[in-house]
Amino acid sequence: MKKTKIVVAYSGGLDTSVMVKWLMEKYDAEIITATGDLGQRKELAGVKEKAKKTGVAKVYVQDLTKEFVEQYIFPALKAGALYEKAYPMATSLGRPLLAKMLVDIARKEGATVVAHGCTGKGNDQVRFEVSVAALAPDLKVLAPLREWEFKSREEEIAYAKHHGIPVAATKASPYSIDENIWGTSIECGVLEDPMVEPPPDAYQRTVAPEEAPDKAVSISIDFELGIPVGLGGKKIDSVKLIHHLNDLGGMHGIGRIDLVENRLVGIKSREIYEAPAATILHFAHTELERLTLDKSVFHMKSQLAQEYANLVYNGLWYSPLREALDAFVNQTQKTVSGVVNVKLFKGNISIVGRTSPHSLYNTKLATYTTEDQFDHRASEGFIKIYGLPVKTFHQVQYGMNGTRKKGSRKAHRL
Reply yes or no on whether 222 is catalytic. no
Q: Is 173 an interacting residue with respect to ligand ARG (CB under 6 A)?
A: no
In the set 40, 185, 246, 356, which binds ligand ARG (CB under 6 A)?
185
Q: How far is CA 363 from the centre of its chain?
A: 36
Q: Is 129 an interacting residue with respect to ligand ARG (CB under 6 A)?
A: no
CB of 99 to ligand ARG, least distance (A): 14
Q: Is 123 an interacting residue with respect to ligand ARG (CB under 6 A)?
A: yes
Reply yes or no on whether 176 is catalytic. yes
Q: Is 91 an interacting residue with respect to ligand ARG (CB under 6 A)?
A: yes
φ, ψ for residue 218, nearest 5 deg: -105, 140
Exactly one of 176, 220, 319, 408 is catalytic; name it.
176
Reply yes or no on whether 15 is catalytic. yes
Q: Is 184 an interacting residue with respect to ligand ARG (CB under 6 A)?
A: no
Contact 181, 69 (CB under 8 A): yes
Exactly one of 124, 127, 185, 356 is catalytic; name it.
124
Contact 186, 204 (CB under 8 A): yes
d(CA 402, CA 396): 10
> Of 91 and 333, which has the nearer Cβ to ligand ARG?
91
CB of 185 to ligand ARG, least distance (A): 4
β-sheet bridge partners, residue 234: 231
Q: Is 178 an interacting residue with respect to ligand ARG (CB under 6 A)?
A: yes
φ/ψ bin of 272: left (φ > 0), alpha (ψ from -120 to 50), beta (otherwise): beta
d(CA 208, CA 256): 9
Q: Is 326 an interacting residue with respect to ligand ARG (CB under 6 A)?
A: no
In the set 271, 274, 287, 289, which binds ligand ARG (CB under 6 A)?
271
Q: How far is CA 358 from the centre of its chain?
A: 28
Q: Name the 3-class secondary structure at 11.
A: coil
In the set 109, 187, 258, 307, which binds ligand ARG (CB under 6 A)?
187
d(CA 252, CA 212): 5
Exactly one of 11, 17, 92, 95 is catalytic; name it.
95
Query: Catalytic residues, which ones?
Result: 15, 95, 124, 176
